[in-house]
C-alpha cells in the first residue's frame, strides 16, 4: 500500500525538464485567457495545476495538447523547442490528454475510440480485430470488469467511459499526460482506481499535469503545485513546503504564500 509519506524525488535543477512552457499567451477576441505563464514538468513527476473557474488552467493545457495553439510563447520538450499546431503534433511528441469531457465519440465502440485517429490497418483496411485485442489488454489493466467491447460507449457507465478515455491516452506510450479533472465524474471506488493508476504511471517515468478543482486530490498526488489566477501564474510551490490553506489563499486571493497575511487566512475561513 502506498502511503502519504512516500519520499518524492525532488527534481534536481540540472536535469532537463520533460516539458517547459515559457511565457505562454492565449487570447480569445481581446480577452486574455492566459497571460504569460511559464511552468515546467519533469519525468516521473505529477504537477498539480489548480485555480478557480476561468483561471486559464484548461486553456493553458490546451496549448500543450494542440487543441488551441498559443498566440505567443515557447514550448520546449526535452530541451528541444517544438511547435504544436494541432493534436496530431502533440501526440507525435508523446503528449496525451484526458479531457474533462472525455472527448469520446459516443456512437462508436471502445476499440474505435481508443484508436480514433490512429487506427491499425491491414492492407489499408481497418483491422478491427487487432484493435479490439489491444483494447482488451489495455482496458483489462484499468478495469478487469469491463466487458462491453462491442457496444457504443454511449451505453457504458461513467467509470467505464473514463477507462476508455484513459486507455486511449496510455496505450500509445505517452511521455506526458494531461489529466483534466480526471475524477470529477467518478464515485469513490473509481476515484481510488484512478489514483492508483496515476501513481503507477508516475513510477513508469511519465510526467503528469493534473488539472483539478479538488485541492485534496492535488495534495494527495502531486509533487509540485502550480496555481493560476485570472490567467496569470501565482506561483509554483513544493507540496511539502505549503499548507492547504496557503494554496487556497493562492487560488482564491491570487497571492503567493509569502504575501498572505493572517487576516487573509482568517477571511478564507470566514
Q: Which residues bind another protein (CB under 8 A)?
A: 65-67, 86-88, 91, 97, 99, 101, 103-108, 112, 116-119, 121, 124-126, 129-130, 132-133, 155
Q: Which is nearer to another protein, 11 or 111 (CB)?
A: 111
Q: Please, are residues 12 and 48 in contact by the beta-carbon 8 Å criterion?
A: no
Cα separations in angstroms, 119 against 67, 132, 172: 20, 11, 12
Find the shortest distance in angstroms from Cβ 127 to another protein: 8
Find the shortest distance in angstroms from Cβ 80 to another protein: 21
Q: Which is nearer to another protein, 101 or 157 (CB)?
A: 101
Measure the CA–CA gap between 45 and 43, rounded to whole angstroms: 5
Q: Which is nearer to another protein, 112 or 170 (CB)?
A: 112
Q: Which is nearer to another protein, 106 or 241 (CB)?
A: 106
Find the shortest distance in angstroms from Cβ 211 to another protein: 15
Q: Which is nearer to another protein, 43 or 95 (CB)?
A: 95
CA-CA-CA-CA dihedral for 109, 114, 118, 120, to nearest 10 = -70
Find the shortest distance in angstroms from Cβ 177 to another protein: 15
Find the shortest distance in angstroms from Cβ 42 to another protein: 26
- Three cell numbers written together for 224: 509540485
Measure the CA–CA gap between 184 and 161, rounded to whole angstroms: 13
Q: Is 141 left (phi over 0), alpha (psi -120 to 50) or beta?
A: alpha
Amino acid at each position: 500500500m502506498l502511503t502519504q509519506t512516500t519520499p518524492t524525488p525532488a527534481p534536481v535543477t540540472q536535469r532537463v525538464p520533460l516539458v517547459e512552457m515559457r511565457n505562454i499567451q492565449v487570447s480569445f477576441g481581446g480577452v486574455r485567457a492566459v497571460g504569460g505563464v511559464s511552468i515546467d514538468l519533469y519525468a516521473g513527476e505529477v504537477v498539480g495545476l489548480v485555480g478557480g473557474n476561468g483561471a486559464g488552467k484548461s486553456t493553458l493545457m490546451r496549448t500543450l495538447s494542440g487543441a488551441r495553439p498559443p498566440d505567443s510563447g515557447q514550448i520546449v520538450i526535452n530541451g528541444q523547442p517544438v511547435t504544436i499546431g494541432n493534436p496530431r503534433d502533440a501526440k507525435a511528441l508523446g503528449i496525451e490528454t484526458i479531457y474533462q469531457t472525455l472527448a469520446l465519440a459516443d456512437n462508436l465502440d471502445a476499440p474505435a475510440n481508443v484508436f480514433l485517429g490512429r487506427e491499425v490497418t491491414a492492407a489499408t483496411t481497418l483491422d478491427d480485430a487487432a484493435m479490439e485485442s489491444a483494447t482488451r489488454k489495455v482496458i483489462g489493466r484499468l478495469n478487469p470488469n469491463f466487458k462491453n467491447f462491442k457496444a457504443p460507449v454511449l451505453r457504458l457507465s461513467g467509470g467505464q467511459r473514463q477507462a476508455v478515455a484513459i486507455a486511449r491516452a496510455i496505450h500509445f506510450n505517452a511521455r506526458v499526460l494531461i489529466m483534466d479533472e480526471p475524477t470529477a465524474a467518478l464515485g469513490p471506488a473509481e476515484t481510488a482506481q484512478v489514483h492508483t493508476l496515476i501513481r503507477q504511471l508516475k513510477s513508469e517515468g511519465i510526467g503528469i499535469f493534473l488539472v483539478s478543482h479538488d485541492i485534496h486530490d492535488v495534495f494527495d498526488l502531486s509533487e509540485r503545485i502550480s496555481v493560476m489566477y485570472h490567467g496569470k501564474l501565482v506561483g509554483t510551490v513544493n507540496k511539502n513546503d505549503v499548507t492547504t490553506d496557503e494554496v487556497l489563499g493562492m487560488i482564491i486571493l491570487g497571492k503567493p504564500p509569502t504575501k498572505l497575511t493572517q487576516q487573509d487566512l482568517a477571511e478564507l475561513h470566514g
